[in-house]
Amino acid sequence: MMYLIWAILLLLPLRGVQAALDDIGAVYIGAHPDDIDIAMLPSLYKYDYGVHPILWVVVTDGAADQREYDYEVAKGWIASDGVINETWLDPDGNVITRPFASGNLADARVGWHLNYRGEMQRTESSHTAMYASEFSPAYDLESRVSMNLPDGVTCVFLRYQAAYAGRDPWLQYPDGAQVVSESSYTESLTYLIARAIDRWMKSLDLRRELLFMNAHAPEEIAFNSWEHPDHGITGNAARQAVDILESTYEVETIHASWYTVYSPIEPKSPYTRNTIDIVPQLTLMREYNMQVWEADWMFYIGWQPNNYLYAPYPTGPFSPLYNVEVTY
């Protein structure tokens, strides 16, 4: 099945003097608005920022965490608008049900205002979400990336076009509900990721000899790739997008780094786990993490992202980052 593939490309504003970047791209793909921040940011700081142009891809709208929603409504940081069992469309036009969704939570986490317009259609406009957290002002994704990573970073917020009753509503990938229609979402996301990367590479005239990709681990790589269904679907789609990029879009070599979030990655044979020393990046990591919109909520629940074992979020201490690296 063929999809009309599009992506929303937002070129973040630059601050200060543009760094002298090379013409080899580095792509980071996260299922949720905070996944790259939590699981992959040390690698971005260590290897790519200020060296390569970076594409920062966010898959889902981040609307599904009802516990975070309740906490932030009680704090007065977002207005109450949560919906239980909200209907949505998968890429094939089939009606699915989202157990919970809040447009205001999605707005605050991503930094795009998502207005419902008619049946399950949305329009976007950039805005800044901010509140005074336990640590420092916390910001939406778009704002904190533009403030902390001003040179050469392009953010992409993905959405798909689902044919339904003769109309084509534009939809965000539904946080927490893709597993209801796994095959449809995986196929759609595979082509969308590949197409978005190709367009970005063309826009910057990047070389096709080599591309760096960082994403959630696919099933073929790790036993714990399905730590969260959205992580597993995104990882599988990213892996399939590698093949499309090479077969269709003439990227010659892709060096992929695969990550998990909730526990150290458990590689399948013949792959091995790589340990990355991130001590030199600790100061930058802590400064950035304290600005993450979800930081106050994660500190409140004592959450610990065990892929590099630090607690409590967002201040540390840190231990090495783990991944699996494969060249295709």
What's the residue count for the chain?
328
Least confident of 15-24, 76-85, 101-110, 284-293: 15-24
Whole-Å CA distances, 307 to 200, 235, 238, 279, 301: 29, 16, 19, 15, 18
13 pLDDT band, cuts 50/70/90, is very low
Q: Is 219 exposed, middle or buried (0-12, 13-18, 19+ CB in 10 A)?
A: middle
Least confident of 1-10, 195-204, 290-299: 1-10
Domain 8-327 fold? Rossmann fold (3.40.50)
Q: Give the pLDDT of residue 246.
A: 98
Average pLDDT, the chain: 86
**CA-to-CA distance for 93 and 328, rounded, in angstroms?**
34
What are the φ/ψ torsions at residue 183 (nearest 5 degrees)? -65, -40
Q: For the whole model, what pTM was predicted?
A: 0.91
Tens digits of residue pLDDT in 24-79: 999 999 999 999 998 899 999 999 999 999 999 999 999 999 999 999 999 999 99
303 pLDDT band, cuts 50/70/90, is low
What single-letter amino acid sits at 253?
T
Cβ atoms of 96 and 87 closer than 8 Å: yes
Residue 285 has pLDDT above 80, yes or no: yes
Domain ranges of the chain: 8-327
**CA-to-CA distance for 162 and 92, rounded, in angstroms?**
6
- What is residue 223's DSSP assignment? T
- DSSP 3-state helix, strand, coil percentages of the chain (rounded to 5)? 30, 25, 40
Q: Which sign, positive or negative, has the C-alpha torsion 112, 114, 120, 123? A: negative
**CA-to-CA distance for 159 and 166, rounded, in angstroms?**
19
215 CB-side CA count, 13 A:
33
Cβ atoms of 294 and 135 closer than 8 Å: no
User: Average pLDDT of 106-132?
Assistant: 71
